[in-house]
Structures are given as C-alpha cells and as structure tokens.
C-alpha cells in the first residue's frame, strides 16, 4: 500500500507507522517457522488477528495492550511502541518440536536451561512441576532467538531488573488467565510467547499477538492423557502441525525445506479456524 508511510515488512505482518504515533499492522496469510516464510495459509491473517483480539480483550485487566482499533478482520491499528528485546516464553509442559527445543535438550541430558532446573524423570509432553519462563533474545535483524537466563538479561542490559520483574509477573498472570479460559473450552494452553514494548511514557504494554495458535501450543484436553500415556504426540491445534510435517522430512536449520503440499496447507487452515472457534466459541465467518 504505497500511500501509507514508513513501511516495515515483517515475516508475517506488514507494518506502517503513521506520523501521529499509531502503527497499522496488516496480518498476511504467510506462515513463518524456523526463521523463514514457508507458505501461505488461506484466512490465516484474519483468523489469527481475531483470535488475538479475543485474548487481548480477555486480558486487558491484567496488562495494557497495544490495540487501538480493528478496522478490518486482519488489520490492527496499534500504539507505536519501543519493543523490548526479550521474548518471554511461558510453559506448563515439556514440549518441543525442533532440535533446539527444551524437549530435545532435556532428552540429551540437560537439566538446567534458561536459568531453570528441571527434575529428572520427566517424559516427553509431561506437565512440568511448575510453570516456567524460558526467555530468549529477540532477533530484530533476521538472526536466531538465543536462550537467555534472567541474570543475562540484566547483565547485558537488555532490561533493567525491575523491568524483568514486571515482565515476568505480567507474563505469568497472562498465562494463568490463558490456561483457565482455554480449559473451559477443552484446550490445554501448553506454552506461549509474549512480546512487550514501552510506550512514550515508559509504560510496559503487551504487543504483537497473544495466545494465537502461531505463538502458542494448544492441545486437545480430552485426548491428551491417553496420547501422553501412549508416548504419542498430543493432538494439537497450532503451528506445530506444519512444523512437524517439516521436521519429519528435513532439518529445517540446515537443509532446503520442501514445498508444503496443498492438502497440508488446507489442513493447516482448518486447524487455525478450528482453534479460533474452540477458543472463542464463535463461528468463523470469512
Ligand atoms: O519452539 P519452542 O518450544 O521454544 O516454543 C515455545 C512456544 O513459544 C511455542 O508456543 C511457540 O509457538 C512460541 N514461540 C513463538 N515465537 C518464537 C519462539 C517460540 O511464538 N520465536
């Protein structure tokens, strides 16, 4: 859209900064994983924007967020923020899909990661003894997100100690709300990632998206216990469907990723829509 100013194209969203401090964020249908764009999934931009809308509204009392308005199903008018350089990942389960996930690290014998020590004897996809935060750096210029400990966050001056305290407390409160509302809909909110920014007055504001199937894992609560006991992958309603298809065929960090076939793309679209409908209780109207 050339007539809009200051265009910044993210992997999934196109951003335009208006002179008055507002940012227009247009969610595309692009699907990104493993730090690259893999394919486009029909309806994804609108479905995810509407899923995040549900959650932004359901958590407004816990943390202010960047939303000003929704002029279109896949468009947010947001407050322009200075995004903080830490991604706050919160987890209730030992889950993961890639070779760098906490599950892979745990299987290799690592017990202390991200400043957190996990007990011996956990099985894949098991519930953790307590909710943990596994922060990473936010790679602004196309690099990989690197694991961080809270001490490193402060030492490297990514955040002040007070900012980290506030971010982690807010993230845990948001996650608790997410867990509670998801459970009412028959879903387990397994893990998720939050991004925060500072507004002009220095307030911490929730940015990006919240509890979407792109930034979270969701498992179907009814079938989880049997799948876990059988050592099978839980039924998930999220981007893991596509991630798993890819990692079954190549190592996406070193190999060329094959083109995602049309039927897999359509199944992904159906999963995103199903997740929206389960989470919000609304029927998706294109
Ligand atoms: O891959 P990993 O297990 O570390 O991801 C944990 C959670 O954080 C998942 O729900 C994933 O979708 C989300 N995440 C994200 N963006 C990233 C890294 C993780 O949304 N850059």
Say how many Å lie between the CA of residue 101 and the centre of ligand 1.
Answer: 9
Residue 285 domain flag: no
Instruction: Let me know whether 97 and 47 are in one domain.
Output: no
Mutation probe of ligand 1 site: the residue of 38, 89, 146, 190 with most atoms within 8 A of C-beta: 89
Domain edge (last residue) among 50, 79, 108: 79
Together in a domain, 42 and 118: no
Mean pLDDT of 137-159: 90
Same domain assignment for residues 54 and 137? no
Give the per-residue pLDDT at 3. Answer: 72
**Cα of 23 to ligand 1 centre, how many Å?**
24
Which residues lie closer than 8 Å to 272 by C-beta, 6 or more apart?
Answer: 41, 43, 44, 47, 48, 213
Residue 88: predicted pLDDT: 98
Residue 2 within a domain: no
Of 79, 114, 137, at which residue does a domain stop? 79
Return the axis-axis angle of helices 262-280 and 44-59, rounded to nearest 10°.
20
Which atom of ligand 1 is nearest to 238's Cα?
12
Across residues 133-143, what is the average pLDDT?
85
CATH number at residue 126: 3.30.470.20
174 with 206: CB under 8 angstroms? Answer: yes
In angstroms, rounded to a whole number, what is the distance separating the alpha carbons of residues 118 and 110? 9
Tell me: the pLDDT tens digits for 63-104? 999 999 999 999 999 999 999 999 999 999 999 988 889 999
- Is 13 inside a domain boundary? yes
Same structural domain, 273 and 229: yes
> Which residues approach ligand 1 with their CB closer than 6 A?
87, 89, 96, 98, 101, 145, 191-193, 215-217, 239
Query: Do residues 74 and 104 share a domain?
Result: no
Q: Which pLDDT score, from 0 to 100, does residue 1 have?
A: 56
Distance 4 CA to ligand 1 centre (A): 31
Tell me how far apart the alpha carbons of residues 261 and 255 are, in angstroms, rounded to a whole number: 18
Q: What residue numbers bound the domain in which 70 lies?
A: 7-79
Q: Confirm whether 61 is domain-assigned.
A: yes
If you ran DSSP here, which 8-state letter would residue 65 be given?
A: B
Q: List, for residues 213-250, the tens digit of each pLDDT value.
A: 999 999 999 999 999 999 999 999 888 899 999 999 99
């Amino acid at each position: 859209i050339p007539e809009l100013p200051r265009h910044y194209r993210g992997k999934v969203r196109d951003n335009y900064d208006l002179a008055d401090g507002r940012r227009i964020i247009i969610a595309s249908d692009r699907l990104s994983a493993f730090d690259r764009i893999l394919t486009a999934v029909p309806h994804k931009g609108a479905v995810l924007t509407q899923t995040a809308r549900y959650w932004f509204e359901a958590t407004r009392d816990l943390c202010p967020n960047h939303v000003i308005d929704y002029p279109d199903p896949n468009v947010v008018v947001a407050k322009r923020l200075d995004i903080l350089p830490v991604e706050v990942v919160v987890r209730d389960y030992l889950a993961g899909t890639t070779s760098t996930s906490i599950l892979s690290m745990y299987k290799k014998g690592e017990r202390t990661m991200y400043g957190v020590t996990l007990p011996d004897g956990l099985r894949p996809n098991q519930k953790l003894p307590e909710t943990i935060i596994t922060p990473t750096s936010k790679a602004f210029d196309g690099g990989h997100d690197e694991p961080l400990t809270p001490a490193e966050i402060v030492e490297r001056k990514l955040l002040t100690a007070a900012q980290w305290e506030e971010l982690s407390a807010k993230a845990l409160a948001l996650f608790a709300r997410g867990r509670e509302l998801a459970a009412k809909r028959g879903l387990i909110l397994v893990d998720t990632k939050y991004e925060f920014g500072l507004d002009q007055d220095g307030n911490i504001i929730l940015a990006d998206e919240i509890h979407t199937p792109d930034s979270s894992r969701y498992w179907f609560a009814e079938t989880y216990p049997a799948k876990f006991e059988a050592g099978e992958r839980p039924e998930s309603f999220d981007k893991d469907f596509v991630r798993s298809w890819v990692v079954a065929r190549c190592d996406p960090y070193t190999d060329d990723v094959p083109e995602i076939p049309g039927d897999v793309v359509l199944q992904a679209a159906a999963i995103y829509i199903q997740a929206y409908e389960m989470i919000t209780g609304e029927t998706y109207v294109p």
